[in-house]
Amino acid sequence: MIVSRSYEEFAEHRDRMEGSIGFVPTMGALHEGHLSLIRRAREENEHVIVSVFVNPTQFLEGEDLEKYPRREEADRKICELAGVDLLYMPTADQIYDEDELCIAAPKVRGYILEGARRPGHFDGMLQVVMKLLNLSRADRAYFGMKDAQQLVLIQRMVRHYFMKVEIVPCPIVRDPDGLALSSRNVYLSEEERRRALSISRSLKRAGKMIQGGEYEVSRIVEAMEGTLRPDVDELEYIAVVDRDFRPLERIVPGESIILVAAKVGSTRLIDNLWV
Ligand code: AMP
């Protein structure tokens, strides 16, 4: 495995690759969720590129940029064992210019739900993903359905900017007790982690209701609130949207996403269910 820190070195190694390339962009502190993307990329491509970059432009003032977990050595080993060919670990000055041309998230889908709670977050995310996709010139790029809104916005960007890469959505990986894996789970105390389980439990409950024929969003949301309220410290939103992030009043099977964002202690967690 080659590890590149500079843009020039990365580009040189990338240029030498022939055959299909699968790319997995991450912010590091790699866990089984990331690994599922890397494994899928490994299966479907001749070469696999991973990036580890805690992108400053997608963090808002007062968010956890400084304390975001950084585990470079462990990440490097995990990538090596997973059969990654090229690992890009750039510094911010390799990626950004002091007078930067910016990408703006769409005014509607970029500013609801996560975008309403974190205004500007998706601008920074799309900007870095655009750069990394162009740098890697991958045939396929792998993204987790855990970050549903991010995934849908990236798909839009690729469509709107006529980019050739195929975006591959990958299912959410959970701990056996249901908690969706996230690099931010390390912030949770044992007691908070136990309460955080109400998030996946509420989604499971929604799934069961839908299986039982309940398609009315207001009733599903009410039931989810009942599961969440006693355990989370701040319920930011429960939302039901279609696969293009338009709000739904009734579940359309095969077309719907149920999303939750909540704070447990000071940790902000998101999770969702595609139904
Ligand atoms: P991050 O390092 O948090 O920016 O995540 C990098 C990629 O891994 C994104 O496409 C995420 O959606 C994906 N990812 C993170 N957690 C999970 C998970 N639990 N299951 C599947 N994919 C995930």
Q: What average pLDDT does the segment 137-154 reach?
A: 98
The predicted structure's pLDDT at residue 206: 98
Indicate whether residue 30 lines ligand 1 (CB < 6 A): no
- Place 14 in a pLDDT band, splitting at 50, 70 and 90: very high
- Please enumerate in sequence order all residues whose Cβ is within 8 A of that of 268, keeping only pairs 6 or more positions apart, or say none: 184, 236, 261, 262
Residue 66: CB atoms within 10 Å = 9
Let me know: does 257 contact 247? Beta carbons within 8 Å: no
Residue 70 carries which side chain, given as an amino acid letter? R
Confidence at residue 44, expressed as pLDDT on a 0 to 100 scale: 98
Residue among 30, 32, 35, 37 whose CB has most ligand 1 atoms within 8 A, to mutate:
37
Name the residue of 147, 165, 174 to mutate for ligand 1: max ligand atoms within 8 A of Cβ.
147
What pairing do the DSSP bridges indicate for beta strands 267-274 and 256-264?
A: antiparallel
157 ligand 1 Cβ < 6 A: no
CA atoms within 13 A of residue 25's CA, in its CB half-sphere: 28
31 is catalytic: no
Q: CA–CA separation, 144 vs 75, rounded Å? A: 18
What six digits make up the tokens of 201? Answer: 């439990």
Atom of ligand 1 lying closest to residue 182 CA? 16
In ligand 1, the atom with minimum distance to the C-alpha of 147 is 12
Q: Give nearest CA residue, ligand 1 atom 7.
A: 26
Cα 169 to Cα 82, 196, 254, distances in angstroms: 19, 25, 15
pLDDT value at residue 227:
98
Q: pLDDT by residue (tens digit) across 24-34? A: 999 999 999 99
Looking at 190-249, which runs of residues are DSSP E strands? 234-242
Q: Which atom of ligand 1 is nearest to the CA of 29?
A: 2
For the full predicted model, state whether its pTM sits above 0.85: yes
Mutate-to-test residue for ligand 1 from 23, 26, 259, highest number of ligand atoms within 8 A of CB: 26
The reply to whether ligand 1 has any atom less than 6 angstroms from the CB of 144 is yes
Q: What is the pLDDT of residues 37-93, one digit of tens each?
A: 999 999 999 999 999 999 999 999 999 999 999 999 999 999 999 999 999 999 999
Q: pLDDT digits over 86-132, tens only?
A: 999 999 999 999 999 999 999 999 999 999 999 999 999 999 999 99
Residues 6+ apart with CB under 8 A from 222: none
The predicted structure's pLDDT at residue 254: 97
- pLDDT for 179-225, tens place per residue? 999 999 999 999 999 999 999 999 999 999 999 999 999 999 999 99
Cα of 146 vs centre of ligand 1, distance in Å, is 6
What are the chain's domains?
A: 2-170 (3.40.50.620), 183-274 (3.30.1300.10)
Q: What is the pLDDT of residue 43?
A: 98
**Catalytic choice (13, 31, 34, 121):** 34
- Say how many Å lie between the CA of residue 12 and the centre of ligand 1: 27
